[in-house]
């Protein structure tokens, strides 16, 4: 299975279809507010994995209820719930998928295809049940569960092996030692300008506003883009750093994400000034 997944990650034959679909998704899912909602910016976590709990839960429950006598109505209700709720979950997933790296998009494309097959089989199951053909409905539902399970396996690979929509920055903290570390001479720090520094080999950005200085991890939580090369923009009255790779924006006075594709906040580090030297440490 591992060799198969490696081949899938490297399957360049999928890129033409993937690139077309990516352009179509980016052209369709607008404006930015809608994309942010679907990414889960308001939650501080990706929305897609939370949304899929509903169809997965409903479909698995239907598979159990289908084994019990006299439960046709309950099974039909569960299949309907799963089928309807899978649609917005798929839209949120497509929105995340369109901002992934190429190797992730290849696996994501097959993940989406497997789930589309599953959803189609469940839709057929629902129609069969509503027209009184419960045996056919049951068979289609079990086939749908098989396809959705394959999709779930690919989704797990995408998240846990390839790190899609998982914060890429927070593991940087594991490379920092305990205790306060000197990071800059406060007097030499320019106002309202991003400055990049290293703390124990961990890259951070500094942003001075008056006597307040923000120290933030430099690696973007979305796909490790260099925030130190990003722009500072005023968004909703707050100074934010905008990632140069895909445009995620984070408040410089707290690290909260204000625009995706990142759904997670960026880590801010505590600061203090001792004898004119700015120091920082682990949170």
Interface residue list for ligand FES (CB under 6 A): 220, 222-223, 225, 243, 245-248, 261-262
Yes or no: say if 263 and 213 are a contact pair by the CB < 8 Å rule.
no
**What are residue 234's phi and psi, to 5 degrees?**
-85, 115
DSSP characters for 97-151?
HTTS-HHHHHHHHHHHHHHHHHHHHHHHHHHHHHTT-HHHHHHHHHHHHHHHHHH
Our CB check for ligand FES shows the closer of 184 and 243 to be 243
Our CB check for ligand FES shows the closer of 214 and 262 to be 262
Q: Report in angstroms how near the CB of residue 272 gets to ligand FES at its nearest.
A: 29
* C-alpha span between 155 and 134 (Å, rounded): 30
Our CB check for ligand FES shows the closer of 92 and 220 to be 220
Q: Report in angstroms how near the CB of residue 99 gets to ligand FES at its nearest.
A: 6
Our CB check for ligand FES shows the closer of 82 and 255 to be 255
Q: Report in angstroms how near the CB of residue 100 gets to ligand FES at its nearest.
A: 9
Q: Report in angstroms how near the CB of residue 235 gets to ligand FES at its nearest.
A: 14
Q: Report in angstroms how near the CB of residue 34 gets to ligand FES at its nearest.
A: 17
Instruction: Using CB atoms within 10 Å of the CB of residue 226, give its burial: 0 to 12 exposed, 13 to 18 middle, 19+ buried.
Output: middle
Our CB check for ligand FES shows the closer of 98 and 183 to be 98
Q: Report in angstroms how near the CB of residue 64 gets to ligand FES at its nearest.
A: 40
CA angle 86, 91, 95 (to 5 degrees): 145
In total, the chain counts a number of residues equal to 283
Q: Report in angstroms how near the CB of residue 42 gets to ligand FES at its nearest.
A: 17
Our CB check for ligand FES shows the closer of 36 and 66 to be 36
Residue whose token pair is 């497997």: 114
- For CA atoms 257, 240, 268, 203, give the dihedral sign: positive
Would you give the DSSP letter of residue 194?
A: E
CA angle 213, 214, 218 (to 5 degrees): 135
């Amino acid at each position: 299975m591992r060799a198969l997944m490696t081949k899938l990650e490297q399957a360049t034959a999928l890129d033409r279809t993937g690139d077309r679909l990516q352009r179509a998704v980016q052209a369709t899912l607008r404006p930015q507010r809608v994309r942010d909602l679907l990414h889960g910016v308001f939650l501080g976590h990706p929305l897609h994995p939370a949304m899929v709990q509903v169809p997965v839960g409903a479909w698995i429950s239907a598979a159990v209820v289908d084994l019990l006598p006299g439960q046709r109505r309950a099974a039909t209700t569960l299949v309907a719930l799963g089928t309807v709720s899978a649609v917005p979950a798929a839209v949120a997933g497509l929105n995340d998928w369109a901002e992934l790296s190429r190797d992730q998009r290849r696996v994501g494309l097959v993940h989406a295809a497997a789930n589309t097959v599953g959803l189609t089989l469940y839709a057929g199951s629902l129609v069969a049940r509503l027209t009184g053909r419960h045996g056919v409905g049951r068979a289609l539902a079990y086939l749908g569960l098989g396809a959705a399970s394959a999709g779930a396996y690919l989704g797990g690979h995408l998240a846990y092996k390839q790190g899609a929509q998982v914060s890429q920055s927070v593991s940087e903290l594991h490379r920092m030692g305990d205790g306060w570390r000197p990071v800059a001479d406060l007097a030499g720090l320019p106002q309202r300008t991003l400055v990049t520094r290293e703390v124990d080999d961990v890259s951070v950005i500094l942003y001075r506003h008056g006597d307040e200085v923000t120290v933030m991890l430099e690696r973007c939580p979305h796909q490790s883009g260099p925030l130190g090369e990003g722009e500072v923009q005023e968004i909703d009255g707050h100074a934010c750093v905008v990632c140069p790779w895909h445009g995620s924006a984070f408040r410089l006075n707290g690290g909260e994400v204000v625009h995706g594709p990142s759904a997670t906040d960026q880590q801010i580090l505590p600061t203090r000034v001792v004898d004119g030297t700015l120091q920082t440490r682990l949170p």
